[in-house]
């Protein structure tokens, strides 16, 4: 068996032509007659040879002089056998993301995967969209964080802003969460909430000042668990904790996916696909959305291990919390 062919990068942030583009499956590369496991594997990046092995390298991290793998020779990809607990959920959904299957059984499978992850020292990542707050389910997610079921949170400005809006005003997008009705001027509440956090300087500081006393972000700060809030062009404010630079946000997410063995993506296409792209293929990935299209899109983008659950985030979270407790 021959060694992988290498080429030297001649510009920062640019691969040599013909660079090998990765999958998210475990990958080995043959260098100087020996196989080295590629560290930090994720989809759609390159492979950089390091002093004693090889590592996945996003395009923007290439530095002039790096040795980059070219072509497919000397690269070996392992498509993993699915573990049993996980495999059951996979088979269940094998044909398609159907709205016509019993969901309670599938949600129990998510709970099983979470328990197995913690029993084996794996981390559980939760990726969520603002519909969690709009639907009144933030208290359930808050409880999951406080009870230790979630180790890392990825979200955008909107989930955090509306969660804090709910904490400060009892509304989300101006809808009173207790009565389900619009509040006069309520559509400005999230702007006022963001503005107060900007004045405090950070969510953590706002918590310490007593401006935020409950909610998902309060639980993240006080538990504490790490989180990444990734910015987007549609953000109001944004909150001071938001990474406004997309490349920095993605790099921060990359740090935190290390050690994750279960990922639960709820009601977000943007953050879900972004996360899916950086997860190794052996992470048990569950994608929950009220639209089958979101699940199909995630799988079409290469996260083929994703198990789709087409349902409300409200039902999913309530049922998951019920099963876990």
Return the residues of window 33-52 that contact its own copies according to CB under 8 A: 44
Indicate the residue among 102 and 121 with the shorter CB distance to its own copies: 102
Determine if 268 is a binding residue for its own copies (CB under 8 A). no
Indicate the residue among 222 and 232 with the shorter CB distance to its own copies: 232
As measured in angstroms, the least distance from the Cβ of 316 to its own copies is 9
The token pair at 277 is: 């792209």
Beta partners for residue 310, in sequence order: 289
> Which range, of 48-56, 114-122, 169-177, 212-220, touches its own copies by CB under 8 A?
169-177
Nearest CA among 41, 134, 97 for reference residue 308: 97
Determine if 299 is a binding residue for its own copies (CB under 8 A). yes
Q: How many residues interact with its own copies (rule CB under 8 A)?
A: 84
The token pair at 19 is: 């660079």
Per CB under 8 A, the list member of 2, 17, 52, 81 interacting with its own copies is 17
Per CB under 8 A, the list member of 49, 134, 153, 203 interacting with its own copies is 134
Query: Pattern of binders to its own copies over 239-258, x per CB under 8 A?
Result: -----xxxxxxx--x-----
**DSSP strand pairing (53-57 vs 67-70):** unpaired
Determine if 292 is a binding residue for its own copies (CB under 8 A). yes
> Which range, of 105-113, 143-151, 207-215, 216-224, touches its own copies by CB under 8 A?
105-113
Cα–Cα separations (whole angstroms), residue 224 to 217, 218, 267 = 10, 9, 23
Distance from C-alpha of 314 to C-alpha of 175, rounded to nearest angstrom? 16
Determine if 60 is a binding residue for its own copies (CB under 8 A). yes
Determine if 208 is a binding residue for its own copies (CB under 8 A). no
Residue with tokens 């992470």: 283
The token pair at 250 is: 């993605």
Determine if 302 is a binding residue for its own copies (CB under 8 A). yes
Contact between 231 and 160 (Cβ < 8 Å)? no
Q: Kindly state the DSSP code that residue 19 receives in the 8-state scheme.
A: B
Nearest CA among 138, 114, 140, 156 for reference residue 263: 114
């Amino acid at each position: 068996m021959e060694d992988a062919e290498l080429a030297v990068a001649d510009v920062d942030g640019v691969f040599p032509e013909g660079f090998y583009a990765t999958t998210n499956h475990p990958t080995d590369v043959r260098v100087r007659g020996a196989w080295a496991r590629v560290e930090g594997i994720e989809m759609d990046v390159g492979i950089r040879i390091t002093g004693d092995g090889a590592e996945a390298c996003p395009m923007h991290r290439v530095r002039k002089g790096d040795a980059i793998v070219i072509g497919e020779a000397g690269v070996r990809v392992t498509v993993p056998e699915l573990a049993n607990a996980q495999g059951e959920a996979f088979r269940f959904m094998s044909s398609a993301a159907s709205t016509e299957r019993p969901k309670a059984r599938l949600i129990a499978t998510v709970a099983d995967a979470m328990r197995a992850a913690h029993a084996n020292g794996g981390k559980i990542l939760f990726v969520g969209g603002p519909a969690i707050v709009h639907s009144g389910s933030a208290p359930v997610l808050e409880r999951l964080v406080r009870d230790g079921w979630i180790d890392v949170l990825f979200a955008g400005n909107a989930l955090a802003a509306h969660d804090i809006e709910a904490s400060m005003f009892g509304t989300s997008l101006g809808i009173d969460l207790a009565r389900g009705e619009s509040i006069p001027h309520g559509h400005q509440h999230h702007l006022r909430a963001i503005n107060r956090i900007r004045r405090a300087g950070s969510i953590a500081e706002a918590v310490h000042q007593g401006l935020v006393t409950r909610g998902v972000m309060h639980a993240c700060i006080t538990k504490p668990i790490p989180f990444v809030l990734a910015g987007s062009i549609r953000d109001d404010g944004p909150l001071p904790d938001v990474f406004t630079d997309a490349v920095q946000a993605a790099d921060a997410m990359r740090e935190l996916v290390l050690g994750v063995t279960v990922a639960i993506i709820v009601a977000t296409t943007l953050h879900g696909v972004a996360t899916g792209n950086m997860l190794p293929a052996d992470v048990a990935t569950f994608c929950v959305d009220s639209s089958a299209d979101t699940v199909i899109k995630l799988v079409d983008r290469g996260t083929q291990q994703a198990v789709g659950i087409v349902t409300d985030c409200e039902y999913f979270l309530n049922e998951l919390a019920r099963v876990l407790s």
